[in-house]
Amino acid sequence: MARHIHVLKVHHLTLSFPTRKDPNPKPVLDDVDFGIRDGEILGLIGNSGSGKTMTSLAIAGLLPEGAAITGGSIKFRGQDLLTMKPRDRRKMLGSEIGMIFQEPSTALDPLMKIGKNLDEVLVAHGVTDPAERREKILSTMKTVGFDDPATIYERYPHQLSGGQRQRVLIAGAALLAPKLLICDEPTSSLDTVTTVQILDLLKSLCRKLQMTILFISHDLSAVSNFCDRVMVMKDGKIIDKDTTSDILTNPKNAYTAELLTNARLDTRMLGIERAHVDYTSSPVLTAKGIEAGYSDRIFGKGSDNKVLKGVDLEIYPHEILGLIGSSGCGKTTLIRSLLGLLPHTGTASVVGRRIGAVFQDPVSCLNPAHTVKWHLNEALRVAEKKLSKEERMAKISAALSEAGLNDEFLGRKPHQLSGGQRQRVAIAMCLITNPGIIIADEPFSSLDASSSAEILKLLTDINRERGTSFLLVTHNIHIIRQIAPRVVVMDDGKICESGLTNEVLSSPKASATVRLLDAETKLHGA
């Protein structure tokens, strides 16, 4: 077979979702044209809805029902994929084209042991000898970094961590050493430390198995140390294509430059100003000796598992307090305890007004059956009961406009909003109760770079103008460095380090902080 410089060549690909009413809708992919060179790692960057995932699904032949390719071709090692029989195309999946998805927690069949989940791949591609299959699975699991593959082989998916599951999925995709590996946001649900490990793994696999990788992400800065070349996608078109270093240092396209600003969260460019915090005043929130956990006792036997092992915390007026730590350190449990959503021991006292909360996933926070107005009204009813209809409406539109939305949105339901707009509604629901403190749990992690930057600006504006204190939980140290004057680091249910952000991050003492900073440096560069 002739050697091709391009493993995959996508030629003027156009894709749309025609319906009976609208046979010629606006294309989802519009004249997409690129090639992936043998052995390279190509990044595909864009905001949500830009067509990244559709591009990957078109290559794999797993497009959702209703999608129609109206033009162009996809050639894999010289073969035209679009004219192939579906059966032959399916045979290619797993053996020549591998895929890894975003959500490792749900990407494995929960009823099957890890070994069985992987075994299927080999069975489907005609490896008939069980001993040979087992041997191959164990050796691949070793390659993806499991020291004791035989144990993991017998585990069920729910017994593994997110990072471990993603390794299993990478093992599944790499079992037959496919030529092309498509990774669709493989790290966006993982914490920074795990992200770095997974990226390192992919890079080494790429070299070891001579794979080519198409790496899809919404975070431009996250791909900087990983990809050889980067493409930027917007509205179904590829608008910029260059080597990674050129894109990062010298973006020629205006949109790329904007993405870069957003990804770096450059506070000066975004016009973010810090509020002045007076640390001599008395704190608005004081928590002492918070302990919480769960128990799996049956008839008094079994054990108590403490997730929080005595946490002390103070938040001052006007302050944004950053809370960082890797997954499983107890951040979420702490927040839930502070909000009174979990049974806990210890005391948490708030001075003055109530606590508001903004959560990670704005999709599941809003009731899909109701309008924006209903949500705000509900929130207001909790805070203030005796208000006339006019007063209510005035408060609702004031909160909405403070969150950066206008009255047009009042009648919309959650599915008619973008991710960033939903998060704004969640923030408006918080503001309408006039809270003294807002606890924000990873409010950016489900948003793309542009929306994150906007929400970040909104939160800092609220902090400065209203004087609202924030407890900002995130695994993005970069954000903390930019906007939080003080930071606490959690590890294993305890606060292992706290102090002024500059001091903690420039001379970290706890090992957990060092780990987080190392990962951060590897991921985003110094």
Q: Which residues bind other proteins (CB under 8 A)?
A: 60, 62, 90-95, 98-99, 101, 103, 106-112, 120-121, 124-125, 156, 158, 169, 172-173, 298-299
Rounded least distance, CB 300 to other proteins, Å = 11
CB-wise, 176 or 329, nearer to other proteins?
176
CB-wise, 23 or 66, nearer to other proteins?
66
Rounded least distance, CB 444 to other proteins, Å = 23
* DSSP of 313-351: EEE-TT-EEEEE--TTSSHHHHHHHHTT-S--EEEEEE-
CB-wise, 165 or 229, nearer to other proteins?
165
CA–CA gap between residue 157 and residue 520 (Å, rounded): 28
CB-wise, 278 or 296, nearer to other proteins?
296
Please report the beta strands in 410-518, taking only residues with DSSP state E, as ranges in sequence order.
437-441, 469-473, 486-491, 494-500
| Start-to-end Cα distance in the chain | 44
Rounded least distance, CB 124 to other proteins, Å = 5
Rounded least distance, CB 180 to other proteins, Å = 12
Rounded least distance, CB 118 to other proteins, Å = 9
CB-wise, 131 or 298, nearer to other proteins?
298
CB-wise, 114 or 455, nearer to other proteins?
114
CA–CA gap between residue 230 and residue 244 (Å, rounded): 5
CB-wise, 53 or 501, nearer to other proteins?
53
CB-wise, 60 or 201, nearer to other proteins?
60
Q: Which residues does residue 80 pair with via DSSP β-bridges, in sequence order?
A: 75
Rounded least distance, CB 98 to other proteins, Å = 7
CA–CA gap between residue 437 and residue 471 (Å, rounded): 7
Q: List strands edge to edge, sheet with 437-441.
A: 355-358, 437-441, 469-473, 320-324, 486-491, 494-500
Rounded least distance, CB 102 to other proteins, Å = 8
CB-wise, 174 or 449, nearer to other proteins?
174
Tokens representing 469 are 């204190």
User: Would you give the distance in Å from CA 245 to the centre of its chain?
Assistant: 24
Q: Which residues does residue 311 pair with via DSSP β-bridges, in sequence order?
A: 290
Q: Which alpha helices (DSSP H) does 108-223 contain, by range? A: 114-124, 130-143, 149-153, 162-174, 192-208
CB-wise, 43 or 172, nearer to other proteins?
172
Tokens representing 444 are 């950016």
CA–CA gap between residue 326 and residue 315 (Å, rounded): 21
User: Would you give the distance in Å from CA 71 to the centre of its chain?
Assistant: 32
Rounded least distance, CB 99 to other proteins, Å = 4
- Taken in order 489, 495, 501, 504, the sign of the CA dihedral is negative
Rounded least distance, CB 183 to other proteins, Å = 11
Tokens representing 314 are 């103070």
Rounded least distance, CB 158 to other proteins, Å = 5
Task: Please enumerate, as own/partner, the contacts of 134-142 that have beta carbons within 8 Å and a separation of 24 or more.
Answer: 136/175, 137/171, 137/175, 140/171, 140/174, 140/175, 141/167, 141/168, 141/171
